[in-house]
Each structure stands twice: as structure tokens, then as C-alpha cells.
Amino acid sequence: MDTTVHLVDRGTMEIDLNYPLEGAVTATASDPNPDCVRAEGPVFNLVVDHPAGTILWDTGSHPDAGDGHWPAETYDAFTHHDAHEHPLPDALDDAGFALDDIDYVVQSHLHLDHAGGLHNFAGTDVSVFVHEQELKHAYFAAATGTDGAYIRADFDYDLAWEPLYGDGGLLFEGLEWLHLPGHTPGLVGLLVEDGTADGDDLLVIGDEAYNALNYEAEHPMGRDLLHSRLDWEASLRRCKDLQRRRDAVVVYGHDPEQVASLPELL
Ligand SMILES: [Zn+2]
């Protein structure tokens, strides 16, 4: 199987550390007023260059995130300073691909730092795979204002949606998707057979783990980043089981050290 995976750099987002790590900063008797911490998390996409076509994993933040596309209050908390310097077509170009090369998009979920490049595929026949439950939840969240991490203007286009149903399945030979509910109802991961340069399988789990501590230490994300903690824990078990059986390398959603190491790994 002649599949290669390529990193697409979309810049860096900054958020309060208590979002990705529940209780990271906690007042105690001896330290009643600890300083809040802002944590940097890279935003990236992947290109899976597969014999069946060129597949884009996630589409990052909208380039106008800081210029009104994200509500001011949202941008104040989730601050993607350099989104405008990494629009999808330019970032793809840096990785050696053109927008026109993309045949398929797989959306891990539809949060604002993952779905903001979908507008590039409006009116095209590029298939956009997304879990049925994610697409339904995203429209519900946008319509009711119950979850500010979804922005209707990210996904409300004439797109060639290909809903994914159920628990998981085969997208193409050597390329499996799996439903990992928890962070959102319809988060999906991707298992790429022989996805690393050494021929190891790659298990891309997106925001099931915002960073390495969520996965390795099983430190839960904060409440605002967990639609369902019970589902999140079950999905973590599923990832770890698969990792063991396939001896796979697991790729997290926004871990700075890991993303820095990806170019060597892929
Ligand atoms: Zn997310």
C-alpha cells in the first residue's frame, strides 16, 4: 500500500489551560490565588495521499477568525492570532499540494478550529465525510446557541456531504474511520495503515485528546470541551485497545511537542 501522510501547518491557537486539562489551575489554602495559564496549541490538518485519491483531514480555522468570523467573545477565549497567515490554500501549497488536488475531505468534527476551511469546497463535488451525529449536532448547536464552538458560517454551504453512519468502517483500502463520541457527539478518528515513514499504523484521534496528557495520563478535558465525559472515557478505551492491537502511533488534536515531531515521523 503506497500511502503517505503530510502535515499541513495552520498556525497556533491560545486558550486557558483549564479547557484542555480539567482543574489544571486550582486554588488551594497555601496558594489561594494561582495565576491562570494560557496554553498554546497548534492547529494542523493532514493530507493522506492514497492510491484512491488525495484526502484532507480537517480544514482548520477560518482565516478571518480574528476579523469577525468568530464572535468577539469566542475569539477572546479561543485566540487564533495567526489564522489569517495560514489560509488553507497557502498551507496546502507549503505542504506540496494544491486545493484542486483534494478529492475528499474527512472532518473529525465541526468545531470552529477544524471546519473553518470548508468554504473552499463550496459548490464543488469534493466529498466531505462527517459523522451523521456531528452534522446534526452542529446545526442544532448553531441554531440554538447552545454550543459556541460551532459557527454556522463554517459549514452552512452547498457541500457534497457524505455522512458516516454508526460505529466505524472502511473509507478506502487501509483507511478506516471510527466513531469516538465524547468531545462532541460525532467525533471521528482515522486509522491509516502504514501511515508513518517506518510503516507503522497511524491512529489519528483528533480532539478525543487535545494533548498528550488527555491520552497518556487520561486527564480529562474541562467540562466545556466534553460533551459527554462517559462517552469520552469509552472512546479512550477504544483508542487504546486499537493502539495495542495494531501497535499504532496515536496522533492527538493540538499537542505542541507532538506536532513538532510529526514531520520526522510521517
Ligand atoms: Zn473540538
Q: What are the tens digits of pLDDT across the range 38-53? A: 999 999 999 999 999 9
If you measure from the C-alpha of residue 183 to the centroid of ligand 1, how many angstroms do you get, rounded to a whole number?
Answer: 7
Q: Cell 492491537 belongs to which residue?
A: 245
Q: Across residues 228-247, what is the average pLDDT? A: 98
If you measure from the C-alpha of residue 190 to the centroid of ligand 1, how many angstroms do you get, rounded to a whole number?
Answer: 15
pLDDT confidence of residue 1: 60
Q: Are 195 and 266 in contact (CB under 8 A)?
A: yes
Q: What are phi and psi of 139, to 5 degrees?
A: -65, -40
If you measure from the C-alpha of residue 166 to the centroid of ligand 1, how many angstroms do you get, rounded to a whole number?
Answer: 20
Structural domains present in the chain? 4-23+38-265 (3.60.15.10)
Q: Are 48 and 175 in contact (CB under 8 A)?
A: yes
Q: Across residues 168-185, what is the average pLDDT? A: 98
Q: What are the tens digits of pLDDT across the range 191-237? A: 999 999 999 999 999 999 999 999 999 999 999 999 999 999 999 99
Q: What are the tens digits of pLDDT across the range 133-152? A: 999 999 999 999 999 999 99
Ligand 1 (ion): residues with CB under 5 Å are: 111, 207
Q: Are 200 and 225 in contact (CB under 8 A)?
A: no
Q: Cell 499504532 belongs to which residue?
A: 248
Task: Supply the DSSP string of 96-127, one letter for each residue.
Answer: T--GGG--EEE-S---TTTBTTGGGGTTS--E
If you measure from the C-alpha of residue 225 to the centroid of ligand 1, how many angstroms do you get, rounded to a whole number?
Answer: 7
If you measure from the C-alpha of residue 246 to the centroid of ligand 1, how many angstroms do you get, rounded to a whole number?
Answer: 26
Split at pLDDT 50, 70, 90, the class of 2 is confident
Split at pLDDT 50, 70, 90, the class of 173 is very high
Share of the chain above pLDDT 70, in %: 100
